[in-house]
Structure 1
Amino acid sequence: MKKIALCAAALIAAIPAASFAQEADSTEATAPDGTRAFGIEPYIGIMGGYDSYDKRSEFGSPRGGKMNGALIQGVAGVNVPIGPAFVGVEGNVAKGFGDIDWEYGVKGRVGARAGESGMIYASGGYEWVNGKRAYSDQKDWIYGVGVEVGPKDIGLGGVTGNSGVRLRFEVDTYDFDSIRPMAGAVVHF
C-alpha cells in the first residue's frame, strides 16, 4: 500500500512539471497570483484539530478503547514554486489533549497554486506520536491532502493586502489508522 501511495505521489509531481515545460517558452513565467514562478517561500503557522485512531491500530487498548484527542499544532516549512505548481517540506509539533501527549513529524508536499493566492496539495512523511496513560509511543508514515485559501480568494484582499496570510484546511491519516482534520492560519514570507 505504501509503494502505491509513493508511486501516486511521483505521478502527481510529474504532471505539473510536464505542463510547466510547455510554458518555458515565455520570457518570464509567473504564478497565478503574479509572483515569481521560481524561488523559495518560507512559512509558519498555527493550527487546531482532532486526531482519532482506529481501535485496531497500534493505539487500540486491550479493553477495546481507542486513542483520540484534540491538538494544537505549530508548523514551519518552505515551498519552492515551479510555475503553477510547487514542492515543499514541512515540520510540525503538536501538543495533544486527551489521550495524546505530543505529535511531531516531517513531510513533503506537492501541489498546484489555485486562484489568486490559494494552493491545493498532497503530502506524505513520517510522524512520531506520544500517547498518555496506557497508550505507547509509536512512529509511522503519515499521508494527507489539503488546501490553503488566500485572502484574495475569499474577498478579503482589501482587508489584508499582501500580508501572505492564508487559511489552511487539511486532513491527514497516520498509516491509514487515524483521521486527523486540522484548520488554521499560515503566514508566508
Structure 2
Amino acid sequence: MKKLLLAAMCAVAIPAAASAQDVASDEAAPDGSPAFGIEPYVGVLGGYHDFDRRSEFGSLPGDSGPEGALVSGIGGVNVPLGPVFVGVEGNASKGVSGDIDWEYGVRGRLGVRAGDSGMIFASGGYQWVEGKRGYSDQKDWVYGLGVEVGPKDIGLGGITGNSGVRLRLQAETYDFDSIRPMAGVVFHF
C-alpha cells in the first residue's frame, strides 16, 4: 500500500514539474536584487510515521510495527540554478505519541520552481530513528517528494506580504518500509 502511494505521488509530481514556469536566472527581484541567490530556510512540520511490520524494526506481539505522531524542525539551504534548484536539509523530529522517540537526519534536495514562489522537489538522504516501547534504534536511507507553495500561489496574496512564508506538504519513506506524510510552514530568508 505504501509503495503504491509513493508511485501515485510520483505520477502527480512529474507532470506538475514539467509544467513549472521557466524563470531566467538574470531576472531581478522587485527590490532590484538578483532573483536567485543562496536561500536559507527553517520550518516546523507535523505528521505521522507508520512503519511496515516487515521493516528492520520488526513488530511486537499484537502490533503491526512502530508508528507515531511527530513534530519536526527543519533547516536547510537551496542553491537556485535558473528554474531548478539543489539543496541540503537537516531535520530533528520528536515523537509526541506512539513508538518513536526521536528522528533526525540529513538529505539532499533537487527540484523545480513553480509559479512565483512554489517549488516541487525530490529528496534523498539518511535518517536515524530512535524507538521506544521495545523498538530498537535504527538508521537507513530515506526518500521523498514534496511541494511548497507561497500564499500568493494559492490565491492568498497579501496575507504575509513579501515575507517568504511557504506551506509545505511532503511524504517520505524510510527504505521503502514506511510512509511519513508531513505538513507545515517554512520560512525562507
Q: TM-score range by the shorter chain?
A: 0.7 to 0.9
- Is the contact between residue 128 and residue 140 of structure 1 (CA under 8 Å) also seen in structure 2? yes
> What is the rounded CA distance, in whole Å, between the counterparts of 2:130 and 2:138 in structure 1?
7
- How many residues matched? 166
> What is the rounded CA distance, in whole Å, between the counterparts of 1:42 and 1:85 in structure 2?
16
Question: What's the counterpart of residue 67 of structure 1?
Answer: 66
From 34, 37, 40, the counterpart of 1:39: 37
Q: Percent identity?
A: 71
Question: What's the counterpart of residue 90 of structure 2?
Answer: 91
Question: What's the counterpart of residue 186 of structure 1?
Answer: 186
Q: Which runs of 5+ in 2 are unaligned?
A: 1-13
Cα distance, 1:36 vs structure 2: 3.2
Cα distance, 1:178 vs structure 2: 0.2
Cα distance, 1:163 vs structure 2: 0.7
> What is the rounded CA distance, in whole Å, between the counterparts of 1:30 and 1:60 in structure 2?
53
Tell me which moved more, 163-172 or 54-63: 54-63
- Is the contact between residue 37 and residue 83 of structure 1 (CA under 8 Å) also seen in structure 2? no
- Is the contact between residue 61 and residue 134 of structure 1 (CA under 8 Å) also seen in structure 2? no
TM-score (norm 2): 0.81
Alpha-carbon distance change, 82 to 30 in structure 1, aligned in 2, over 3 angstroms: farther
Question: What's the counterpart of residue 47 of structure 2?
Answer: 49
Cα distance, 1:64 vs structure 2: 5.3
Alpha-carbon distance change, 154 to 45 in structure 1, aligned in 2, over 3 angstroms: same
Higher percent of residues as helix: 1
The aligned amino acid for 1:68 is: E
> What is the rounded CA distance, in whole Å, between the counterparts of 1:111 and 1:58 in structure 2?
30
Kindly report which structure 2 residues correspond to 1:67-146, keeping only aligned pairs within 5 A, or say none. 67-96=66-95, 97-146=97-146
Tell me which moved more, 61-70 or 90-99: 61-70
TM-score (norm 1): 0.81
Q: Aligned Cα RMSD in Å?
A: 2.3
The aligned amino acid for 2:131 is: G
